[in-house]
Amino acid sequence: MQGEKKVLYSAVQPTNNLTIGNYIGAVRNFVALQNEYDCIYAIANMHAITVRQNPAELRKNTLSLLALYIACGIDPQKCVLYLQSHVPAHAELAWVLNTFTYVGEMERMTQFKDKSAKHADNINMGLMDYPVLMAADILLYQTDVVPVGVDQRQHLEITRDIAIRFNNAYSPTFTVPEGVYTKVGAKINDLLDPSKKMSKSAENVNGAVFLSDDRDTIMRKFKRAVTDSEAAVRYDPENKPGVSNLLSIYSAFTGRDIPQCESAFAGCGYGQFKEAVGEAVADKLAPIQAEQAKLLADKEYLNGVLKNGAEAAARRAGRTLAKVYKKIGFYQL
């Protein structure tokens, strides 16, 4: 498999609950890509600790994300599916890449600035170094493409810069990766504040729909979603951010395009519209949640997946790291 197909890499942090935005923007696409590409998917627990985590929860969320990946249709036989901390090469390459990254570049990262403001009591080195670890993740596997949300664009750009910088300083070592930014439903916004991206750490939990929410919770959240006073289901993100966001969600969960969705709700009141959106989401999530629960009950299976994944990942990452160590002059035995 390796060699013919392009290498695709992505990762998700095992923090809190994933939202339907994470599902649409990330995990769902991972499934669609696994036949076409040589896919490597990670659970980025080393990134997660850049903001303080409760250890028991981090452990639990790790298995929960793994089960979710599989429940959504990611096939561990087809992809490399692994936990970042199981492959020491990530930390090792990140250290080397640190010496090819400037402090000023990291200080200018939007996400660093946002997170620093949000966690002002814990602006740790890891938070600042987050993009370098992400570069290490990607570059270790000679990745060609990285599907991510638009919020990760800056991190991908710096990954490319670091790769080019290293390649120029020595000789071609890293594949320079391309970012692929999901378009449809790439950005699902908060139900209560549609000017903001739907986030795992939303201020008001009612603004975010989590993949773990049951049907009643989902229906309640959509019922409360902010709309407008025009009473027309029309896609117009500028003037109708709430309704447009709901249309995006409906479109993403039903696979129908926006014009089709608009006509489906022509002349329909917002109450009925919101109920339909809630139902589409709940219908889609129910079987995934059932499968996830089933997988979580089989820890032996999940551990086996992680073990195989770590072995496969370490083998591939090790090759790149060895090349890097050689080029920079680390004495080899």
Distance CA 246, CA 276 (A): 10
| Strand, coil or helix: 159 | helix
Rounded (5°) CA angle 5-22-282 = 115
Distance CA 256, CA 237 (A): 18
Whether residue 225 contacts residue 191, with contact meaning beta carbons closer than 8 Å, is answered with: yes
Residue-wise burial string across 157-178, b where 16 or more C-beta atoms lie within 10 A, e elsewhere: ebbbbbbeebeeeeeebbbebe
Least Cβ distance, residue 47 to ligand TRP (angstroms): 5
* List of E strands, the chain: 7-12, 38-43, 80-83, 145-148, 178-181
11 binds ligand TRP (CB under 6 A): yes
Binding mask 42-61 for ligand TRP (x = CB under 6 A): --x--x--------------
Distance CA 97, CA 324 (A): 10
Distance CA 199, CA 194 (A): 11
Written as one string, the DSSP assignment of 215-244 is: HHHHHHHHHT----SS------TTT-HHHH
Which residue, 95 or 330, is less far from ligand TRP as judged by CB?
Answer: 95
221 binds ligand TRP (CB under 6 A): no
Q: Stretches 7-15, 65-73, 208-216, 242-250: which one binds ligand TRP (CB under 6 A)? A: 7-15
Binding mask 143-162 for ligand TRP (x = CB under 6 A): ---x-x---x----------
Which residue, 45 or 244, is less far from ligand TRP as judged by CB?
Answer: 45
Distance CA 230, CA 305 (A): 51
Which residue, 10 or 244, is less far from ligand TRP as judged by CB?
Answer: 10
Which residue, 177 or 207, is less far from ligand TRP as judged by CB?
Answer: 177
| 115 annotated active-site | yes
Binders of ligand TRP: how many residues, by CB under 6 A? 13
Token reading at 263: 């006509």
Which residue, 44 or 288, is less far from ligand TRP as judged by CB?
Answer: 44
Q: Stretches 4-12, 120-128, 225-233, 303-311: which one binds ligand TRP (CB under 6 A)? A: 4-12
Least Cβ distance, residue 81 to ligand TRP (angstroms): 14
Residue-wise burial string across 105-135, b where 16 or more C-beta atoms lie within 10 A, e elsewhere: ebeebeebeebbeeeeeeeeebbbbbbbbbb
The residue annotated as part of the active site, out of 115, 221, 240, 274, is: 115
| Residue from 7, 8, 10, 324 in contact with ligand TRP (CB under 6 A) | 10
Which residue, 12 or 211, is less far from ligand TRP as judged by CB?
Answer: 12
The residue annotated as part of the active site, out of 6, 196, 200, 284, is: 200
| 113 annotated active-site | no
The residue annotated as part of the active site, out of 187, 197, 240, 274, is: 197
Angle between helices 55-71 and 299-328 in degrees, nearest 10: 100
Residues 99-138 that bind ligand TRP (CB under 6 A): 134, 137-138
13 binds ligand TRP (CB under 6 A): yes
Q: How many CA atoms lie within 13 A of 254 on its CB side?
A: 19
Least Cβ distance, residue 178 to ligand TRP (angstroms): 12
Q: Stretches 11-19, 225-233, 298-306, 320-328: which one binds ligand TRP (CB under 6 A)? A: 11-19
Token reading at 82: 């692994």
Distance CA 277, CA 248 (A): 10
Q: Which residues bind ligand TRP (CB under 6 A)?
A: 9-13, 44, 47, 134, 137-138, 146, 148, 152
Q: State the catalytic residues.
A: 115, 197, 200
